[in-house]
Amino acid sequence: MAKRLAGRIAFIAFLVAAPAWAEPPTTAVIGTPSQPPWSKLSPGQRAVLAPLGAEWDRLDHIRRKKWLLIAERFPGLKPDEQRRLHDRMREWALLTPEQREKVRDNYKEFNQLPAERRQAVKQKWETYNSLSEEEKAQARRDGRLPKPASDPKPTPEAAASRPAATPTAQAAP
């Protein structure tokens, strides 16, 4: 009787534990391997990633991996592209986690737009960037953007899906 009871207990324990074994491993297990802390980066990597230095050790491994890939491409960029990337890194470092998530969502949404609509958003963004600081402030207060010279007529489906996405999020991993 004791053998039977022990067998049943072992079988029940197996059934209880089986779902845990059946679960696929998480990305933490099979995903991106551990990435180096700030102190282990090369001097070149630290120079490129300097705007992120203060928070590097708090970034998850996937984000570190993305930034390290960007750092690899950095030397091949033109000087003005390097400056722009550093500016965007500094801006990124100042964002709260909630703001970063919003930027990521906007970026995903922007990339899912039809090509014509993406181009229209880019044109509006370029028009906005060409404004003086006073005109930008006025446009923000009014909640409007000036129309670009060649603003295409929106299609009914494009008009129905007005995203809050902007192309500035493109450098945000």
* 62 contact partners, CB below 8 Å, separation of at least 6: 27, 31, 32
* pLDDT tens string 40-81: 999 999 999 999 999 999 988 898 999 999 999 999 999 999
* Residue of higher predicted confidence among 31 and 4: 31
Amino acid at 137: A
* Residue of higher predicted confidence among 118 and 20: 118
* Residue of higher predicted confidence among 72 and 1: 72
* pLDDT tens string 89-117: 999 989 998 999 999 999 999 999 999 99
Distance (Å) of CA 87 to CA 46, 48, 55, 62, 81: 16, 12, 16, 22, 10
